[in-house]
Amino acid sequence: MTKTLPITQAREELTTIVDNAKRKLNEYVITVNGSRVAAIISIDEYDSWKETNEIVADKALMRAIKQGERDMINEDFVTLKEFEKELGL
């Protein structure tokens, strides 16, 4: 759930806002003079966004992911059982 709050209200309710972001995964948009200027989200959500941005920014990794998707569509892969057999496991 995303809630928009003016900065004055956010200041007054900061402890509750942080707790709700952490425990309930609530999201808050903070406004100043009616303009959206900041957001408060859980640290787990923030870390997830950062990781996603790093992956998307890595062109080589994105090419590899897209190639993997094509391989799956074309059934161009080795199953775990086939791989274990090749290794003699």
Domains for the chain: give ranges and CATH numbers: 2-42 (3.40.1620.10), 44-87 (no CATH)
With H, G, I as helix, E, B as strand and everything else as coil, classify residue 63.
Answer: helix
pLDDT above 90 (res 49): yes
Average pLDDT of span 4-14 = 98
Within 13 A of 59's CA, how many CA atoms are on the CB side? 0
Q: What is the largest CA-CA distance in the chain?
A: 68
Please give the model's pTM, rounded to 2 decimal places. 0.68
Neighbouring residues of 24: CB distance < 8 A, sequence distance ≥ 6:
1
53-77 pLDDT per residue, tens: 999 999 999 999 999 999 999 999 9
Q: What is the structure's pLDDT at 58? A: 97
pLDDT of residue 1: 78
Q: Per-residue pLDDT for 15 more than 90?
A: yes
